[in-house]
Amino acid sequence: MQGVQRISEEDNFRRKGLMKILVRAFAGFRDVMGERSSYDLPENSDLSTLLSIIASRSEESRILLFDDQGRLRGHIILMVNRKRVPRSAIGEMSLSDGDEVALYPPVAGG
């Protein structure tokens, strides 16, 4: 048909004002959250919003991520697109469609 434009699923998704974020969890986080998860977030969401959504999925996830006062646990290492995110930037770190967020437990070695 002439003049008919096909709209891809991705285009339709963006028109709804959503973005897809891939979350990869490692070690103990992987046991609770799974190795890879995809989250649909409103455009312009930040990293703290994503963490809250992940924590709301299960009590185990909430306990792993946040302390009793609702603060992100100090030992968690966060990366966005393979770059470590300083704790001071978590609330200001805007996410974009297709970003990959990695959650790491504390790293120990000797």
Mean pLDDT of each 10-residue bin along the chain, 110 residues long: 51 70 93 92 93 94 93 93 93 93 79
Provide the token pair at 74.
Answer: 């100090």
Q: What is the pTM of this model?
A: 0.81
Domains of the chain and any CATH numbers: 10-104 (3.10.20.30)
**What pLDDT sits at residue 105?**
84
As beta bridge partners, residue 66 has 72
For residue 92, CA distances in Å to 19, 46, 82, 88, 96 come to 17, 6, 17, 8, 13
Residue 20 backbone dihedrals phi, psi, to 5 degrees: -100, 130
